[in-house]
Amino acid sequence: MAKGVIETWEKLEDFKRRDVTFDGLKRKVFVSGAGPGVIIIHEIPGITPEVARFARWVRDAGFTVYLPSLFGKPGKPNSPGYVNASIFRVLCIAREFKILNSADEHSPVVDWLKQLAAVAHGECGGKGVGALGMCLTGNFALSMMVEPSVRAPVLCQPSVPVNDPAGMHASPGDMAIVRERMEREDLTLRGYRFAGDKYCKAARFEAFSAALGSRFVGEVLPDSAAKPDTFNANPHSVLTTHLVDEAGSPTRQKVDEIIAFFKLRLVD
């Protein structure tokens, strides 16, 4: 940033900041709303204004949103430089985020998120908790279903492991538990991606379908539905950077679809 330039960030003043510790690991969690809990796990580079916008849409639909800050600076706008810095940061804490060749195991931070889900359900009630991940965290909601309170999982452009386009970033043990739960409780896993996304390719959704059958509902948007003229030419972020915030746009329709999914699974 140039000398003398003041960088302004969204302050998230309508969220209550909490410091939450599990197993000795403390993280900031921003909470707002009333109703069943929904955990929204931000993408690279962090809780950007676009991530917070989506969280507010969910909150205003009648949910308590839990927005954990896993990396980055909450409220800071997205940019190529910020993305690169956050990727470097995540690589430096690789023990928590296994983003390269971890096709058959989840990131350790998912265990922290599962505990957050249990707490959210205890605080908010309802039938259970929703969980939505994006990009690097996109797969997290799948393994979070090992926690019995997670009943409405959504994967948005799940991009890990980056070196295995068909990897699911979940252990065989987790997958067995998830499959059994889905059949026993009649649950589904929803996924969203753009057709031409080079980070979340068709092979990943094909792997989910092969593993879960009709219990996985994958939605593929045409690249033409992505917002043009963003800093990222690759159509990728369905709910944030590449969302067209206009009534009737395909991406805005997916927001409404996800919120309807949360209501179906979580509201008494």
How is 223-239 classified by DSSP, letter by letter? Answer: GGGSPSS-S--S---TT
Phi and psi for 66 in degrees, rounded to 5? Answer: -110, 120
Contact 129, 150 (CB under 8 A): yes
Please state, in angstroms and rounded to a whole number, the distance separating the CA atoms of residues 104 and 94.
16
Kindly report the average pLDDT of the chain as a whole number.
Answer: 90
Query: Which pLDDT band holds residue 162 (cuts at 50, 70, 90)?
Result: confident
Provide CB contacts within 8 A for 5, sequence distance 6+.
none
Residue 182, CA distances (Å) to 72, 84, 177, 226 in order: 34, 37, 9, 31
Helix extents (H) in the chain: 49-60, 80-92, 109-124, 140-144, 172-185, 202-212, 250-266
Look at residue 120 and give its three-state secondary structure. Answer: helix
12-26, pLDDT tens digit by residue?
Answer: 999 999 999 998 989
108: confidence class by pLDDT, cuts 50, 70, 90: confident
pLDDT at 67 over 80: yes
For residue 198, CA distances in Å to 50, 82, 173 come to: 21, 20, 29
Determine the average pLDDT of the residues in 140-166. Answer: 94
Quote the pLDDT of residue 267. Answer: 96
Residue 143: count of CB within 10 angstroms of its CB: 28
Q: Please confirm whether the linkage preceding 108 is cis (ω < 30° from 0).
A: no
Overall average pLDDT of the 156-169 stretch: 90
What is the amino acid identity at position 173?
A: G
- Residues of the chain above pLDDT 70, percent: 90
pLDDT tier at 35, thresholds 50, 70, 90: very high
The residue type at 129: V
- pLDDT at residue 99 in the model: 55
How confident is the model over 176-181, as a mean pLDDT? 97
Confidence class for position 117, pLDDT limits 50, 70, 90:
very high
Ramachandran assignment for 140, one of left (phi > 0), alpha (psi -120 to 50 degrees), beta (any other): alpha
Tokens linked to 5? 């330039």
Check pLDDT > 90 for residue 89. no
H helices, E strands: number in the chain: 7, 8
pLDDT at position 176: 96
Alpha carbons within 13 A on the beta-carbon side of 36: 21
